[in-house]
Amino acid sequence: MVKAVVAGASGGIGQPLSLLLKANKAITELALYDVVNTPGVAADISHISTPAVVTGYLPKDDGLKNAFTGADIVVIPAGIPRKPGMTRDDLFKINAGIVQGLIEGIAQYCPKAYILVISNPVNSTVPIAAEVLKRAGVFDPKRLFGVTTLDVVRAETFVAGIVGEKDPSKTTIPVIGGHSGETIVPLFSQAKPSVSIPADKLDALVNRVQFGGDEVVKAKDGAGSATLSMAYAGYRFAEKVIKAVNGEKGIVEPSFVYLPGVPGGDAIAKATGCDFFSVPIELGPSGAEKAIDVVSSANDAEKKLLEACYTGLKGNISKGIEFVQNPP
């Protein structure tokens, strides 16, 4: 029995993500929460002939409570997306409060749920979530994940284009650090199976992974940021969590977590100087069961990228923590 909740279910990411979750037969209950349009989205999705019983909630009539109570996994794509010229950090003002409110609801109604934060800026919204959960006395670092899978998916796709691999998902590439611009660090030297990227193409490839989101923002020309590829990526991560919780072994995917609270993470936090950081995470029944150190084996070029990552990321993390500790 798995109850999944999507908070922000009526949005550009929320709708296709809800559709993918509805298609997953391991899910028995799917609750869709948003401040608008969930009755319609839920009615539509509920006609799909898979096991999940679908319900839709708005804030009125205790909607948050009813949606979240009993949830095993809550995926959060709520909040505003970028428009051309905006950075993810520009979203902070609005999305910080939205994420805070939703996490307060989780702390109250489903404190044991696995929480997957998609809302940007992930580098700050995940620290906000951790702070809120800590204050409520229910923080379990093994259950809080910032979803950085889209960066991984992009790296797989762009590399396949260069090396001529027909199925991009066959190559595993650790993409670590944070989830915005220079804080995103793909470690192509640790790709499995190994890939040989021509030296004259490497910088452009790294840059494309770091700023791939901008391509979509520009192409959508004011209509938002990545939604369909993000729904795929968010679903891929949610599916892995569900499989791992149900006992499947050997599932690893990078995610932005609170490292000191995840086994193996403390040393990585010390080496990077960042408590919140994305590294490959081994998933299991208790959530994030092991943080895998890929930082110490980065090559020299990647170490240089990591230095830039640490600087930006530390500021983003502090900004999130500060938002909860000293509200504006």
In the set 4, 8, 209, 240, which binds ligand NAI (CB under 6 A)? 8
Specify whether 47 is catalytic.
Answer: no
Contact range with ligand NAI by CB under 6 A, out of 96-104, 158-166, 204-212, 295-303:
96-104
Q: Which of 4, 21, 31, 91 binds ligand NAI (CB under 6 A)?
A: 91
Annotated binding residue at 11? yes
Residue 210 interacts with ligand NAI (CB under 6 A)?
A: no
CB atoms within 10 A of CB 221: 9
Could you tell me the sign of the dihedral formed by the alpha carbons of 232, 234, 239, 240, in that order?
positive
> Do the Cβ atoms of 65 and 105 come closer than 8 Å?
yes
199 is written with which tokens? 């030296």
CB 180 within 8 A of CB 89: yes
Least Cβ distance, residue 205 to ligand NAI (angstroms)? 19
* 8-16, 203-211, 271-279, 283-291 -> range binding ligand NAI (CB under 6 A): 8-16
Per CB under 6 A, 86 contacts ligand NAI: no
CB of 69 closer than 8 Å to CB of 43 = no
Query: What is the rounded distance in angstroms from the CA atom of residue 74 to the CA atom of residue 106?
Result: 8
Q: Which tokens hold the place of 20?
A: 């993918």
* Cβ burial, residue 301 (10 Å; 0-12/13-18/19+): middle
Which of 3, 142, 143, 179 is an active site residue?
Answer: 179
Burial class (CB in 10 A: 0-12, 13-18, 19+), 167: exposed
Closest CA to 74 of 109, 37, 125, 46: 109
Could you write out the DSSP letters of every residue in 138-201? Answer: ---GGGEEE--HHHHHHHHHHHHHHHT-S-GGGSB--EEE-SSGGGEEE-GGG-BS-----HHH
292 is in an annotated binding site: no
Nearer to ligand NAI, 78 or 238 (CB): 78
95 binds ligand NAI (CB under 6 A): yes
Q: Would you say 161 is a known binding-site residue?
A: no
* The binder of ligand NAI chosen from 52, 115, 150, 173 (CB under 6 A): 150
123 near 95, Cβ under 8 Å? no
Name the residue type at position 230: M
* Nearest to ligand NAI of 14, 284 (CB atom): 14
Per CB under 6 A, the list member of 118, 129, 132, 291 interacting with ligand NAI is 118
Nearest distance in Å: CB 16, ligand NAI: 9
Is 119 assigned a ligand-binding role in the annotation?
A: yes
Please check if 37 is assigned to a binding site. no
Q: End-to-end CA distance of the chain: give it in Å, rounded.
A: 41
Has 118 been labeled as part of a binding site?
yes
Q: Is 10 annotated as a binding residue?
A: yes
Answer yes or no whether residue 183 interacts with ligand NAI by CB under 6 A: no
Structure tokens at 36: 């608008």
Place of tokens 């992009």: 154
Binding mask 21-40 for ligand NAI (x = CB under 6 A): ------------xxxx----
Would you say 213 is a known binding-site residue? no
If the CB atoms of residues 94 and 202 are measured against ligand NAI, the closer one turns out to be: 94
Interacting positions 225-254 with ligand NAI (CB under 6 A): 225-227, 230
Residue 129 carries which side chain, given as an amino acid letter? A
**Residues in contact with ligand NAI by the rule CB under 6 A:** 7-8, 10-14, 33-36, 77-82, 91, 95, 98, 101-102, 118-120, 122, 147, 150, 179, 224-227, 230
Residue ranges for the known binding site for substrate are 82, 88, 120, 154
Residues belonging to the active site: 179
Residue ranges for the known binding site for NAD(+) are 8-14, 34, 95, 118-120, 230
